[in-house]
Chains A and B, each alone.
Chain A
Amino acid sequence: MSELTGPVHETPSPDGAMAADSLAILLLAAGAAAFNGLLMLAGIWQPLAWLAIMVSFVVLVLVCERIGRMVPLRARPVYERSLALGFPALVLLMWQVAGDSGLINPTWFPQPSRIAAGLWDMIVRYDRFSETSLIGRPWLIPRYFSEGGLAGVWTLLSESHVLATVSRVFIGFVLGAVPGILLGVVMGINQTVRLMLDTTLSAIYVLPKIAIFPILMLIFADPFGEGPKILVVALAVFILMTINTMAGVRGIDRVYLMAGRNYGANGWQMMRHVIIPGALPVIFAGLRIALGTAMIVIISVEFLRAKQGVGFITFYYWEVLNPEKMYAGLIVVMMLGVLLTYLLQWLQRRMMPWQQ
């Protein structure tokens, strides 16, 4: 009887595990420091930097894993966030130090501090020659509004590189996505249309969209105007959305279509209550990809032929050899991408409440 009441498993005491982890962390950190220190003393840290960095990274991962095990459950989100944000911050810091100490050439890889300064300079600077600024100097809006009303504000906004890029992407995106989704639905439902168009669309799909740009410039009366730039974005988005929407519609489980029919849905009701919502997850996945493609296309077009835009200004600072501001341009592109992705996610949550 007494045997049954005794403990069946030896669970290791949590305190013991924690002590072992603490010790391991100390040993690992000391080991990594000693390793780097020895290399430095021997004067071979610099040529072996890649090895030292790799070893240090592995040790850092091992240390963080052990810290993660010791973190209590309620502090877990804080731990995860600090890991997700702390590591990039650490990399930036190392970049800064490596640049300052001359380990990497700051001419090609300017330190984060210089990039930030460059970005700030771009924001506040107004180029009198091209009559442009990065974000349109929003701090001047009150003055321009009192002087020239809304038209004054408009002149201010139209000097913005960011706004030029964003409006091209936005207009092109809408102009491409709406007909793309419509055609995709038709191709998903109707086999004849699908057979007729599928081959052509697949062929255009693999074509780099930027390659169509010269043709579009040929078509438009003003080859350097906004028309070809917006249209090339629209075309890229259109092809992607057609293909994705078609896949989404075809992927709808047949049983939902049967249920819709059996419960008396007519053509329009079928579209609104079964086909569109059924294809929506794939449509949104397509929109995410299309957004990335739209950014690639617009930046390349602005590299090629533009007097304004984030792509133009990044390329311009290459021509005048100002690497900080080239990097700053890339940061602006990244921020735009993140912002637009958030916008799309917000739209997705609004339109697909069942997926939360």
Chain B
Amino acid sequence: MAAGQNGSRPKIAARRVSKVYPTVDGSMVALEDFSLDVADGEFVCVVGPSGCGKSTFLRMIAGLDAISAGTIEIAPGVEPGKPLNSVVFQEYAIFPWKTVIDNVAFGLQMRGVGKAERLGRARYWLDRVGLGKFAQYYPHQISGGMKQRVSIIRALANDPEVLLMDEPLGALDAQTRVVLQEELLRIWEETRKTVVYITHSLDEAVLLGDRVILMSAQPGRHLATFEIDLPRPRTADALNTPRFAEYRALIWEKLSREVKRAMEQQQ
């Protein structure tokens, strides 16, 4: 939307995307006719009841899942050789067999960046999120919050055109979550990456996003778009403002209906 108004080319253009899974009892539509434009430097949050195909959509943007119908395009940047996207997975997905620093440098290593340079860049990001001390640790030696920090900076060190985040904080406890939300806000302010952020937490979506996209229960369709006009830079304090509560109530009214519908479907 933001992209359409000022006429510049969107960073991500998803046009009438569908995902159909063939099953023995016929086909199952996970995502139907879903379109989304994301502007350069925009932070878009996608929320919806579980099973609405939001993670599938993200994996399709990343090229990890086949698209049944429609097109998804990520506009390449001016710098050649930069990866188009990097995903932060819900289950961390950092490799247990690599040290923290080797995990962060993984994308660079795969692209053939020399050892000294990739370790230097990895160390820069580790220091930035306060994990410098843990560079030589293995993932099983650090906490869940630290693992997800490693997973996030693995994506950032890769310096992709767009950052795709699939419920990255979903597995963390409430306190760690708030801390990491603030950290995400801080890092995003500094890097202004284009982000598509999948979450089932409404608070998180309103706190982080420029726009919140609401999806319907299965099959996933576009239900509503909410522009979040909260001042930037934001901190977790925004959670306690009346404006925040208004947005939250507005979106929840629609979302709760979908959640109920999804629950009825499952019964």
Contact = CB atoms under 8 A, between A and B. Distances in A.
A265 B110 contact: yes
A277 B91 contact: no
Given A263-B107, A273-B110, 8 more contacts: A255-B89, A259-B93, A259-B95, A261-B64, A263-B83, A263-B110, A269-B110, A352-B97
B85 interface: yes
Contacts, number: 59
Contact of A258 (B83, B85, B87, B110): B87
Interface string A237-271: 00000000000000001011011011111100100
A280 interface: yes
Interface string B165-207: 0000000000000000000000000000000000000000000
Contacts of A264: 83, 107, 110-111
Interface in B113-153: 138-140
Assign chain B's interface to a size class: 20 to 34
14 contacts: A253-B91, A253-B93, A258-B89, A262-B85, A262-B86, A262-B87, A263-B86, A263-B110, A264-B83, A278-B95, A352-B97, A353-B138, A354-B97, A354-B140
Majority-rule SS of A interface residues: helix
A280 B107 contact: no
B96 interface: yes
Interface of A: 253, 255-256, 258-259, 261-266, 269, 273-274, 277-278, 280, 352-354
A263 B158 contact: yes
B259 interface: no
A263 B97 contact: no
Nearest to B154: A263
Given A255-B91, A258-B89, A354-B138, A278 B106 contact: no
B62 A262 contact: yes
A273 B111 contact: no
Contacts of B87: 258-259, 262
A256 B93 contact: yes
Contacts of A261: 64
A258 B59 contact: yes
B66 to A, nearest CB: 13
